[in-house]
Amino acid sequence: MTIIAQKIVSALFSVDRDSKSICCDASDLRGRNFLSQVYDDAADAGFTLVGPSGDEATFYLASEEVSRDNETTAWKFEPTTETLRKMPAIAGYTLTIFND
């Protein structure tokens, strides 16, 4: 099981440590694929967030918010088990990308 997820720099996201939330608008990602396959041997979706010091945290798609018109309004991601093992301080964080 190898991580093959798209890498995206954390500078494109806002972080609120008090609420343990990370977020951005989809348009801020400028076409980067945040729904890429995470593992080479699984049917999953997500990406790897690369911090300013080069630390990498991989997030998987946990849920999708959909409007009454059946349009996606947001994607919710959570850290993978491997990420939590190497970065326990990220436990409890959720990452949201809003479909603007």
pLDDT in tens, 9-32: 999 999 999 999 999 999 999 888
- The answer to whether 94 touches 63, Cβ cutoff 8 Å, is no
**Res. 57 pLDDT band, cuts 50 70 90:** very high
Q: Where are the beta strands (DSSP E) in the chain?
A: 7-9, 14-16, 21-25, 46-50, 56-66, 72-79, 94-98
What does the pLDDT read at residue 79? 96
In angstroms, rounded to a whole number, what is the distance separating the alpha carbons of residues 34 and 84?
19
